[in-house]
Structure 1
Amino acid sequence: MSTTLDGENWPAGFAVQPRQTTLTQKLLTAFKQVPVAHAGDVMGRHTGAVGLSAYHNDLGLTMCGTAITVRTRPGDNLMVHVAIQRAQPGDIIVIDGGGDLSTAVIGGLMRTTAIARQLGGFVIDGALRDVAEWAEGILPVYARGHVHRGPSKDGPGQINTPISCAGMTVMPGDLILGDADGVIAIPASEAEAILSLCQSQAEQEARIRAQNETGKIDRERFDSILRKKGCPL
């Protein structure tokens, strides 16, 4: 048996931890204006999900919300259903499906439920199905791939525990951003500071863009880098 943070006992391999809710609505609203690329730049430039594709077929549809994490056995979606039932409006379901593409862990009927419950989207290190339905938009979804084969509902799995998803470490309650460029997880404890850095990044890029629009070339910016590396100019 395993004991969750709320004191409930679950069979080995199963766990449902409480939803984490440290992000304020004010903070989430501010992050809705932040491009994923800006967040990635201020967090070291080499972070965020890799290998996922957007299946909602709408470049303008973005995602910003609190992470509900799910770890599931490849080919099984029992705990994904449980997570959808426990999630609150705006939450993002982030699924560690082990990158398995042999069997979908989410499909069109689950999309219908998620829309009705006003969830914020899905991030899946695994496969989905019913591609045409997801392509209608409304609900953002990112997945490693798609396949028609349907899942079992046996478990095991865990909800709101630390997971790995498409190269990201995701903690329950982290802030999840998604746009046309991809998906990134921002640690909840660092979100306030990262927002400030993202706002500064946006101001810097606005200045550079304005200069670029004049057609003037800042040759020294890159020549100085070459000189430091010993390149003859």
Structure 2
Amino acid sequence: MTGVSHQPLPPSVDPDVIAAFRDAATATISDNLDRLPGIVGLRPFHRGGKLVGTALTVRVRAGDNLAIHQALNVARAGDVLVIDGGGDTTRALVGDIMKAIAESRGAVGFVIDGAIRDADAFLASDFPCYARAAIHRGPYKQGPGAINVPVSVGGWVVEPGDVVVGDLDGVVSFPPAQAGALIEAVRAQEAREAEVLQMIREGRYDGRYGKVTKA
């Protein structure tokens, strides 16, 4: 068995930041991150529920979940396990048992560049899980792996301790230091879009975004 390297846990994201992004749409967040590529190619497997938490990052070799088991041993309340499985979908990296362990630790979701199994259990649950696919084949448990290192998930680099937000449109992440300016920009866009929708309802929208015709 090859070992798993562990780096120190980053600080948990401030609860005020978590609360601020609880009702922020990933599409609006993405718009205000310059519409950079973000995490792509993953889809939600859960029934419902918003994902907001601190990135606990894990890198594994294709089809091997030893490092994920070890990451669950150090997971804290509010952590999101962000797993770089190299996009491999030939073996599942997590299933119902690991979901139950994650929930018991207070973790708030999985973001997996790889596959899961026991999809029915995820689909019946509000525990957020984003992955590429579901498959019956189980994982190896030999390593190697790494915990709390930068990972590439769906073409996007996620750093340990990043803020992770997910909804039905997908998943975005960003550094906690960026949260204050970002939420201001998100709220401003939400206000503009609400105004446009109101203009449409009142028949005052002239086809130019944000422009008002005379009543």
- Calculate the TM-score normalised by the size of structure 1: 0.85
2:33 corresponds to which residue?
43
Please list the CA deviations of residues 140-183 of structure 1 after superposition, one character each: whole Å capped at 9, or x if unmatched. 00001111000011100101101100021100000000001110
Using the alignment, how far apart are the partners of 2:74 and 2:55 within structure 1?
12
How many residues align? The count is 210
Using the alignment, how far apart are the partners of 1:200 and 1:221 within structure 2?
15
Using the alignment, how far apart are the partners of 1:208 and 1:84 within structure 2?
45
Using the alignment, how far apart are the partners of 1:53 and 1:67 within structure 2?
18
Aligned pairs for 1:52-131 (under 5 A) are 52-58=42-48, 61-131=49-119
Using the alignment, how far apart are the partners of 2:157 and 2:52 within structure 1?
17
| Shift in CA distance, 110/161, structure 1 to aligned 2, threshold 3 Å | same
Using the alignment, how far apart are the partners of 2:13 and 2:78 within structure 1?
12
Gaps of 5+ in 2: 211-215
Q: What secondary structure is seen at the aligned counterpart in 2 of 1:149?
A: coil
Stretches of 4+ aligned residues off by more than 6 angstroms: none
Q: Percent identity?
A: 40
Gaps of 5+ in 1: 1-10, 223-233
2:4 corresponds to which residue?
14
Paired letter, 1:41: D
- Calculate the TM-score normalised by the size of structure 2: 0.92
Using the alignment, how far apart are the partners of 1:66 and 1:41 within structure 2?
21
- CA shift, 1:22, in A, is 5.6
- CA shift, 1:96, in A, is 0.3
- CA shift, 1:116, in A, is 1.6
